[in-house]
Amino acid sequence: MRKNVSGKNYLRWDIVRLCNKAGKVLHPQFVKQRLRRGLGRLRKREGLRYISLSLSSACSADCIYCPANRGESIKTKMMPFESVEKITQEITSRHFQRMHNIESISISTNGDAFLNKDVIKILRFLKRKVPEIKKVCFTNFRAFTKEKIDIVLREGLIDFMGCNIDGSTPESYYSVKKADYNKVREHLLYFIEMRKKLWRDMPLMMSITTFYAYVSSIRKGLGIYPSRAGDVDIENLSDDFQQTRDQYKDLLDHPKDHILKTGVRGWAERHQIDPSTIDYSHYNCPILDRVKQTAYIAPDGSWWSCCWDGNNEIIFGNVIDTSIHDVFLSQKRKRFFELLENRKFKEIGSPCETVNCCQEFGC
């Protein structure tokens, strides 16, 4: 022990310690191990972190802010269980894990996952095979029935729930979503009640986009009227954001849960915009890092560019016919990011050429 070493031996003791350390550090085995670990970390930093599955590209709602042609270009509407099985097999392989570090799997991109008849079987499978990966789901709660809510909560199949609740009355809700508010509210309240009863620690994020918020944000952000808002008199339109929020805020479990106004994006208005009028020097891809780190997988296995590419216009490859890793390394994907990073939106074409519609607007 250093404190028992007499004063004149301090120096000798330190030299011995330093030599030992240097010997260890310079040992070829040690150097090799450190280099390999450093390279691994560097590689993983460039790899994937998120898998975004579209278990269903169908939806029971028809939101004013969601593109009318969403998912139309891909005929397969439901992702089969076998595709999730293959994807999971790949992401749990040692080869894949040397390059990528998946933190979360979302099941509900570009549609409503609860319309897939195998959704519970898929969630159970994911829980068993990848318990360490966070399972994320956004839904409008229409097809998240009481029976499914019971199973999901009892078995802890989802780690984070997101939901949009876009009005305080059946009428205002319908004006945004063309869907049945009473059923949605029934399911949502049941979820909140059962979660409490079962002591489930599953955060819920509720987002609100009222009719007023959407119309005024699009008007302010893009200078146009939303294509599916009908003839609106914006000056006399009232906003029921507070009423919507007040209906739910006291039922939530704070600070774990949140209820907030959504920042509006204009992906549903792309067809109204003439790309030749856009001054690209003003814009970046607003979610570039996220897009680079995510594999967006459509029901037929196509890996498409990003969540704001509603009609799956840019496809890098098919992860079921090949593999996630092959598509990750594909020339098409590489070229896409070269252009995107250099803001060559026009060269990429649709949907990135209307990059102004990908920005978030406030009202």
Ligand X SMILES: C[S@@+](CC[C@H](N)C(=O)[O-])C[C@H]1O[C@@H](n2cnc3c(N)ncnc32)[C@H](O)[C@@H]1O
Looking at residues 150 to 189 of the shown chain, list those that interact with ligand X (rule: CB under 6 A): 162, 164
Choose, by CB under 6 A, the member of 311, 358, 361, 363 that binds ligand SF4: 358
Looking at residues 174 to 213 of the shown chain, list those that interact with ligand SF4 (rule: CB under 6 A): none
Q: Is 106 in the site for ligand X (CB under 6 A)?
A: no
Element (H, E) at 235: none
Choose, by CB under 6 A, the member of 51, 59, 229, 298 that binds ligand SF4: 59
> Choosing among ligand X, ligand SF4, none, which partner's interface includes residue 268 (Cβ < 5 to 8 Å by kind)?
ligand X
Q: Is 308 in the site for ligand SF4 (CB under 6 A)?
A: yes
Q: Residue 328 CA to chain centroid, in angstroms?
A: 18
Q: Is 140 in the site for ligand SF4 (CB under 6 A)?
A: yes
Choose, by CB under 6 A, the member of 112, 240, 257, 309 that binds ligand X: 112
Element (H, E) at 340: helix 331-341
The alpha carbon torsion through 102, 336, 268, 50 (nearest 10 deg) reads 0
Q: Segment contacting ligand SF4 (CB under 6 A): 9-17, 150-158, 222-230, 279-287?
A: 279-287
Q: Is 351 in the site for ligand SF4 (CB under 6 A)?
A: yes
Shortest spacing between CB 229 and ligand X, in angstroms: 13
Q: Which is nearer to ligand SF4, 96 or 296 (CB)?
A: 296
Compute the residue count for the chain. Answer: 363
The CA-to-CA distance between both ends of the chain, in Å, stands at 67
Choose, by CB under 6 A, the member of 191, 267, 303, 328 that binds ligand X: 267
Element (H, E) at 157: none
> Choosing among ligand SF4, ligand X, none, which partner's interface includes residue 361 (Cβ < 5 to 8 Å by kind)?
none
Q: Is 215 in the site for ligand SF4 (CB under 6 A)?
A: no
Contact 298/54 with Cβ under 8 angstroms?
yes
Rounded Cα distance between 296 and 52, Å, is: 5
Rounded Cα distance between 104 and 61, Å, is: 26
Pattern 53-92, ligand X, x by CB under 6 A: ------x-----xx--------------------------
Rounded Cα distance between 114 and 55, Å, is: 8
Planar angle of CA 12, 16, 18, nearest 5 degrees: 115
Shortest spacing between CB 40 and ligand SF4, in angstroms: 28
Rounded Cα distance between 300 and 287, Å, is: 24
